Amino acid sequence: MAAAVLLPALLTGTSAVADEEKPRPPKRMSTVGGERLGLPGTQVDPKPGAKAPALPKKLTARAWIVADAETGEVLAAHNAHWPLAPASTLKMLFADTLIGKPGFEAETSYTVRPEDLAELGEGSSAVGVKEDHAYTVHDLWNGVFLASGNDAVHTLAAMNGGLEKTVREMNERAAELGAKDTHVVSPDGYDADGQTSSAYDLTLIARSGMQKPDFRAYAATTTATFPGAFEDEDEKKDGENEEEQDDDGGNGEDGEQGGKADGPKRTHYQIQTTNRLLRGAGSLEPYEGLAGVKNGYTTHAGYTFTGVAERGDRTLLVTVMHPDHQKEGRNRVYEETAMLFDWGFAAADAVEPVGELVPPLSARQPAADGLEPAGHGEPTDAAAAGDGAAAGHSSTSGLSTALGLVGATGSVLAVTVWLVHRRWPTPGAGQGPRR
């Protein structure tokens, strides 16, 4: 049994030398989802005689997890419950907390006040929200998911009653999901003392968010238009929105946004997703079947990523935290995610689960294992109720058609087929944002 718990370095692809150079995980970690997930090191359990493929070689991430999104089975993990800085992957929890709340309907408009943006951290990633200008909730969610804009997060938080209230609600939502390694200090994921999550928790959060059609639609969108200022203001700003963000410095997110004034009325400019595994970048190709979810980067956290992908009739979730980007490059988090997806799809039937993704507290009922679904507890959202978040807006998708997610320039992203079939019911199953 011990050999199955901690595989030799040759099998796991993690060298002893590399481990010595990395910070060590705590000796005792959370056991939510199973005892083995609380153990340091790599957890994987090949079935006898099944010829399970070896895990990818040269994995450098401090923590990662591969899980079946439908059954919740954890196929393999490495330091799954190590509390680490999450960077902008924490925005998944922000979105899961607020999407579908009353007052956050897609067409709701809000005029930004100077105080709404006053507490943005230095070097924050930004989509270009400007004070004294109005934005719809739909615009702001595009800013959060595509551009990873902290300014969009702070604006939505202001609509929710402020940062303090939003942080409290995010921590309450994390507790409801069973994400005990997660502690929110700043809702945008900006580095803050005591702000942590884990590969396990981020996977739980992504699984929850992907049950919401609006969340799925935003996570899958590759390009959209975002409102700019007005022509005279753009001239005064000397093309502020044309500056390109670089994900190699400061606390800025991986972003390449831009825009320019093109008429006497309010301008719009195109933004594209910072999720490189969704859109591709340079030599990095989009991962086939990927449907989101969120990437992150800060100076302290390095790179983090949670993704969901489908191949055949199987849907997997993978989270990778803190790979060695100094030596391997800033695409490393995506490359290691892709390797783990490939492994997971090849090994799913040849390994025993080493743990599970637990249901939310409200979806549990008293049972022998304490984790059986109660048939309730999934929050409804605007899209499930018929108020599609993306209605009437343009967006494009770079998803594989295998997911049944369809997008085209000039039309709304349609999400009508694919969903995670969890062990507890999903209200509005199969309903995507209305056209």
Rg of the Cα atoms in the chain: 21
Beta bridge partners of residue 351, listed in sequence order: 46
Task: Convert 332-362 into a string of H (helix), E (strand) and C (coil).
Answer: HHHHHHHHHHHHHHHHCCCEECCEECCCCHH
Active site annotation includes 58: no
Which of 30, 125, 148, 197 is flagged as catalytic? 148
* Residue 104: both structure tokens together: 């956050």
Rounded to 5°, the CA angle 379-204-197 comes to: 120
* Residue 254: both structure tokens together: 């991986």
166 and 153 in contact (C-beta within 8 Å)? no
243 and 420 in contact (C-beta within 8 Å)? no
Which of 30, 88, 395, 400 is flagged as catalytic? 88
> Within its chain, how far is the Cα of 178 from the centroid?
17
Tokens 């502020």 locate to 240
**Number of C-alpha atoms within 13 angstroms, CB side, residue 115?**
5
Task: Convert 91-122 into a string of H (helix), E (strand) and C (coil).
Answer: HHHHHHHHCCCCCCCCCCEEECCHHHHCCCCC
355 and 76 in contact (C-beta within 8 Å)? no
Name which of 397, 395, 2, 428 is nearest 212 in CA terms.
428
Beta strand 314-321 pairing with 63-68? antiparallel
Beta bridge partners of residue 420, listed in sequence order: none
As a whole number of angstroms, the distance between CA 265 and CA 137 comes to: 21
Which of 30, 91, 197, 395 is flagged as catalytic? 91
Cβ burial of 297 (10 Å; 0-12, 13-18, 19+) is buried
As a whole number of angstroms, the distance between CA 435 and CA 425 comes to: 25
Active site annotation includes 294: no
Beta strand 355-356 pairing with 109-111? unpaired
The runs of H, that is alpha helices, within 56-102 are 91-98
Beta strands in 282-326 (DSSP E): 290-298, 302-311, 314-321
Active site annotation includes 283: no
- Residue 315's CB is within 10 A of a number of other CB atoms, namely 24
Active site residues: 88, 91, 148
